[in-house]
Amino acid sequence: MADRSRPLYRVAVTRTPGENFSDGITTSGLGKPERETALRQHAAYIEALRSAGLEVVVLPPDPGFPDGSFVEDTAVVLPEIAVITNPGAPSRTGETASIRPVLAQFRRLEAIEPPGTLEGGDVLRTEKRLFVGLSGRTNAEGIRQLERIVRPFGYATSAIPIGAFLHLKSGVAYIGDGRLIAAPELSGQFKGYEIVTIAQEETYAANCLRIDHRRLAVAKGFPRITEALLRLGYEIDELEMTEFQKMDGGLTCLSLLF
């Protein structure tokens, strides 16, 4: 059981969406995002993190990378180390350069090297276990390298085929105390965990963000999962995510928490 007298995280790293935000990669078919709305939603996201007591590092837009606000994909940050990733989308491979000096202030760094690819959205940590999605963005060599890096710190690593999801965490989230929220397609992959299965029509809301021991940020507009989590005793921050959903992004995508 986690020590709830101490905050779950102390620092969050985020990046403001750039003027070319709508030029990023998407398969959502939900239309072009409106940047001013995205900025308002991003500001509300930052406020939720700050209200939970986190120090929020807000990086400026990186004009070379439309997807740069999805900072989660650039690193896997553990209490002992930060692993700089090698994104599988060619247009995103340069995003890691600007995150390195930021994380170097807090952690020793290791890195995933070609031909390995790894994106942080595919890495789900449950205490001392890492589930890693084998996806179009993360390959077997990237998972092998991650396993080698984290093994000395006592982490077990398991590869999870994710089917049609963009990233593993597009369909599953760890919310503490051995409990996961999972889309039906993924719920059978996590033996030994209590699974809160999300309704098919609310799959997007499976990507929720645990910002403290019993506090979750959940995408607004998905009442069934919100009500289920309230019944389980969680404190919920409902956040508008419409513009980021248009770009295949979710709540975890917008920050690195540690």
- SS3 sequence, 66-113? CCCCCHHHHEEECCCCEEECECCCHHHHHHHHHHHHHHCCCCCEEECC
Residue 3 has pLDDT above 90, yes or no: no
0.95 cut: is pTM over it?
yes
Active-site residue identified among 42, 208, 213, 253: 253
pLDDT digits 0-9 by tens, 54-103: 999 999 999 999 999 999 999 999 999 999 999 999 999 999 999 999 99
Q: Which amino acid is at 193?
A: Y
pLDDT digits 0-9 by tens, 165-206: 999 999 999 999 999 999 999 999 999 999 999 999 999 999
pLDDT digits 0-9 by tens, 19-58: 999 999 999 999 999 999 999 999 999 999 999 999 999 9
Cα–Cα distance measured from residue 240 to residue 221, given in angstroms and rounded to the nearest whole number: 8
253 is known as an active-site residue = yes
Active-site residue identified among 42, 167, 208, 213: 167
Torsion 16-250-219-226 (CA) sign: negative
97's tokens? 């350069």
Residue 104 has pLDDT above 70, yes or no: yes
Average pLDDT score, the chain: 97
151, with CB counted inside 10 A (0-12, 13-18, 19+), is exposed
The predicted structure's pLDDT at residue 1: 54
208 is known as an active-site residue = no
Q: Which domains does the chain have, with CATH numbers?
A: 11-257 (3.75.10.10)
83's tokens? 């692993």
Cα–Cα distance measured from residue 240 to residue 251, given in angstroms and rounded to the nearest whole number: 10
